Amino acid sequence: MKKVALITGITGQDGAYLTELLLSKGYEVHGIKRRSSLFNTDRIDHLYQDPHETGVRLTLHYGDLSDSTNLIRIIQQVQPDEIYNLGAMSHVKVSFDTPEYTANADGIGTLRLLEAIRILGLEKKTKIYQASTSELYGLVQAVPQSETTPFYPRSPYAVAKMYAYWITVNYREAYGIYACNGILFNHESPLRGETFVTRKITRAVAKIAMGLQDKLYLGNLDAQRDWGHAKDYVEAMYLILQQDAPTDYVIATGVTTRVREFVRMAFAEVGIVVEFKGEGAQERGYVVSCNNADFQIEVGKEVVAVDEKYFRPTEVDLLIGDPTKSKTKLGWEPKYDLKGLVTEMVAADVVLFQKEKILLDSGYVIKNQFE
């Protein structure tokens, strides 16, 4: 029997990779997309199937995690075997500007889905995956962080996700729903949103190397993150819903790296060696050498600067996950290491901006001033 999955957040980074994975496994996939004034399905357009054809296995529904009647109706219509709740206002820094909206979508949104399962009497049929996060650990209590490490959230985003974490556990215990939290550490890819630090860096490296951008402004260069590849992490989401009994899992690589080091690695991909000088808000990154004939950049040029506007009111300094449980119980193992991830991301952005440069050189586009 063909399984049916419903994905909230299908237009996001993880939604796109998960859709690909589930379609490859023969699933019928339904996704919830928000109405926006511009097309927002870029990441899944290659998976689009004309609904007029027969045998269509990917269907999109308009909806929003803030609208419970809409969620109930979609779930009633789709009758999913599995729900993957990936929809969220997912930017930690932005959550300080939009805390109430974040609580509504990321916290209460999860409750709305769980209640929909209950209202529709689907407790025994529908399994649900909740996109929990390493941001729950926040202020460091112990490292590496595992399923038993206490939480200490440090942003409106993390506090909202903390509510979602516990309401998922509560509905599992109270109503016997197969409901699980995947506590995923940072995961990236060429599909990563442009304002998360890794993608901001790889885009800037490509543009600086091509003379399309002067400098990269960043916030806290000392933060340490356990970065993996989104492709590996959506495999874990799927596995979490295929077990005999529901429980929660940490998904991480177990390796942590500073933002500054990620910058160095990304520039190294285009043959540019960068060295940092100065401290705190005065820290700058300079070109030490460039051995790539395709990219002309002067030695000594300042290519990285700190801008305090990217600092967060409360920061998460150190994340390093302990994936022992997921390795032993799920048999999950990441295929990518950080070097492979950086290589893929920079290469993709170089291709992207080579196209933009051709247009720019021929006068068809102007430089984007709003990045």
Residues with a known catalytic role:
133, 135, 157
CB of 253 to ligand NDP, least distance (A): 12
- Nearest to residue 33, comparing CAs of 3, 65, 4? 65
Binding flag, residue 11, ligand NDP (CB under 6 A): yes
Binding flag, residue 90, ligand GDR (CB under 6 A): yes
**Number of alpha carbons in the 13 Å side-chain half-sphere of residue 306:** 17
Binding flag, residue 218, ligand GDR (CB under 6 A): yes
Question: Do residues 138 and 152 make contact, with C-beta atoms less than 8 angstroms apart?
Answer: yes
**105, interface contact from ligand NDP, ligand GDR, none, CB < 5-8 Å by kind:** ligand NDP
Instruction: Rule CB under 6 A: choose which of 5, 14, 262, 353 binds ligand NDP.
Output: 14
Instruction: Rule CB under 6 A: choose which of 4, 5, 9, 102 binds ligand NDP.
Output: 9
**224, interface contact from ligand NDP, ligand GDR, none, CB < 5-8 Å by kind:** none
Residues 6+ apart with CB under 8 A from 258: 221, 222, 223, 224
Residue 189 and residue 193: Cα distance in Å, rounded? Answer: 9
Report helix, strand or coil for 20.
helix
**Quick one: tokens of 184?**
């995923």
Site pattern 304..323 for ligand GDR (x: CB under 6 A) = ------x-x--xx-------
What letter represents residue 87's amino acid?
Answer: G
- Nearest to residue 183, comparing CAs of 219, 221, 153? 153
**Number of alpha carbons in the 13 Å side-chain half-sphere of residue 100:** 0
Question: Do residues 222 and 259 make contact, with C-beta atoms less than 8 angstroms apart?
Answer: yes
Strand partners, 217: 305
- Nearest to residue 128, comparing CAs of 252, 17, 237, 2? 237
Binding flag, residue 223, ligand GDR (CB under 6 A): yes
Binding flag, residue 79, ligand GDR (CB under 6 A): no
Binding flag, residue 88, ligand NDP (CB under 6 A): yes
Q: Give me the residue whose beta carbon is nearest to ligand GDR.
A: 223
Binding flag, residue 163, ligand GDR (CB under 6 A): no
Binding flag, residue 197, ligand GDR (CB under 6 A): yes
Binding flag, residue 90, ligand NDP (CB under 6 A): yes
Rg of the chain over Cα atoms, rounded to whole angstroms, equals 21
Binding flag, residue 101, ligand GDR (CB under 6 A): no
Instruction: Rule CB under 6 A: choose which of 200, 203, 229, 264 binds ligand GDR.
Output: 200
Site residues (CB under 6 A) for ligand GDR, limited to 114-133: 133
Instruction: Kindly write down the DSSP assignment for every residue of 303-322, as one continuous string.
Output: EEEE-GGG--SS---B--B-
Binding flag, residue 219, ligand GDR (CB under 6 A): yes
Instruction: Rule CB under 6 A: choose which of 93, 154, 172, 187 binds ligand NDP.
Output: 187
Binding flag, residue 12, ligand NDP (CB under 6 A): yes
Binding flag, residue 170, ligand NDP (CB under 6 A): no
Residue 202 and residue 41: Cα distance in Å, rounded? Answer: 22
Binding flag, residue 168, ligand GDR (CB under 6 A): no
- Nearest to residue 345, comparing CAs of 218, 193, 208? 193
Residue 73 and residue 109: Cα distance in Å, rounded? Answer: 15
Residues at the interface with ligand NDP (CB under 6 A) = 8-9, 11-15, 32, 34, 36, 40, 64-66, 86-90, 105, 131, 133, 184, 186-187, 193
Residues at the interface with ligand GDR (CB under 6 A) = 90, 92-93, 133-135, 185-186, 195-197, 200, 218-220, 223, 225, 259, 310, 312, 315-316
